[in-house]
Amino acid sequence: MRCAACRLRTARGFGWFDPRSLTSQPLAACSMRCMNALCRRWGVVDPDEHEIAAIAAASPMAGEYLESIGKTDLAVLTESEWLTLLEVIITAYQDELARQLDAGQHAAPRLPGSRR
């Protein structure tokens, strides 16, 4: 079952339901981070400012890796080099996204009916 928030990873033991609708079918999530996203009714269909910043942060890491192996033409990478490049990008993206979200500088969107 796919995570209802990121729609990318496998849901693992996390579930959220909107207490206002009292559904018996909780939305499955892959992590506390995605469950929090569901709870705040964010969803992550379009990249938010944190994800865009995480992509930007991953870019120089990809460049550093390519520089370290002396290759800039992706077509000549070995399979191992390609997989390492992907790992470098994904790890840098996730690390920056976690840093951004853990910094707590993201206000939860207003819930319907709230006055905040």
Which residues in this chain contact Zn ion in the complex, by CB under 5 A? Answer: 3, 5-6, 9, 30, 34
Q: How far is the CB of 89 from Zn ion (least distance, A)?
A: 18
Which pairs with CB-CB distance under 8 Å and at least 24 residues apart come from 88-92? 88/58, 88/61, 88/62, 88/64, 89/58, 89/61, 89/62, 90/58, 91/61, 92/54, 92/57, 92/58, 92/61, 92/62
The residue among 35 and 85 lying less far from Zn ion, judged by its C-beta, is 35
Residue closer to Zn ion by CB (options 68, 94) is 94
CB atoms within 10 A of CB 35: 22
CA–centroid distance for 49 within its chain = 11
Phi, psi dihedral angles at 57 (to 5 degrees)? -70, -30
Question: CB 78 → Zn ion: shortest distance, Å?
Answer: 31
Comparing CB distances to Zn ion, the nearer of 50 and 85 is 50
Min separation Cβ 40 and Zn ion, Å? 14
Please, which residue, 45 or 75, has the CB nearer to Zn ion? Answer: 45
Please state the closest distance from residue 104 (CB atom) to Zn ion, in A.
Answer: 20
